[in-house]
Amino acid sequence: MKLTDFRVLTFDCYGTLIDWESGIHTALLPLLRKAGLTPSRDAVLETFAKHESAQEAETPSMVYSELLATVHRRLAKEWQTTVSEQDHRLFGASVPQWPAFPDSAAALQYLKQYYKLVILSNVDRESFKGSNKRLGVIFDAVYTAQDIGSYKPNPANFRYMLDHLAKLGHAKDAILHTAQSLFHDHAPAKQFGLACAWIDRRHDQGGWGATMPPPDGARYDFRFTSMADMVTTHQAELRK
């Protein structure tokens, strides 16, 4: 199996192209200061992951900006502090401020020459618009949790994407799903027989950060430590 075997790259966005861990941690600092807490960055991210995944399962149709505000309320309760509704809403609206990884825009611009580029993301449409500005490409399709009415790892999200791509003429064997999260993306993608590329952004860190631990047996076909690493591999394939 080679990268050049595929015609469509479907991407998770947050954690893969957008550095959501830095964005989340920065946006949570005011709440941590109010609570008088100084946990490690990974401890903060792991607590966020616990509440975010639970809220997504409980309210699958809630728009992501509202869901983040609800997660902020849950975190304030766990950390035994009180802030204003405006503070909760500000966290919910923080997605457009989350930075892109330094290699994302250039990698996408390169890959756009060879593939259709598609987003499948646990986000709302308005929040993604802000992130898209940081990524510097026009995606060929964007499928959000708001469009689908559920959040990954729900299989419905992958079924929706595959059905819509099939209508555009893209067969499953032409698609490579590209993502950081083994929990949100690779485990459900493999249920549908999709080829997968793991962008292992946390390769030099322990734990799972802002995602829940993956289920046993989560699999992938390629592993890259960055989007730049993926581009380098593609370029090497073309030279052969």
DSSP string, 81-146: ----HHHHHHHHT-GGGSPBPTTHHHHHHHHTTTSEEEEEESS-HHHHHHHHHHH-S--SEEEEHH
Q: Which residues of the chain have pLDDT under 50?
A: none
The domains of the chain are located at: 3-19+98-239, 21-97
pLDDT score of 217: 81
Is the pTM higher than 0.75? The answer reads: yes
Phi, psi of 101 (to 5 degrees): -60, 145
Instruction: Say if CB 115 and CB 128 are below 8 A apart.
Output: no
CATH domain 3-19+98-239 topology: Rossmann fold (3.40.50)
Question: Is residue 173 among the annotated active site residues?
Answer: no
Report which of 181, 200, 197 is spatially closest to residue 1, judged by C-alpha positions. 197
pLDDT for position 240:
85
For domain 21-97, the CATH architecture is Orthogonal Bundle (1.10)
Question: pLDDT tens digits for 206-234?
Answer: 899 999 999 988 899 999 999 999 999 99
The Cα 117–Cα 104 span in angstroms is 13
Q: Which of 5, 12, 216, 221 is labelled catalytic?
A: 12
Whose tokens are 């690779």? That residue is 186
Per-residue pLDDT at 237: 97
- Which amino acid type is present at position 219? R
Task: Please give the structure tokens belonging to residue 124.
Answer: 């709302």
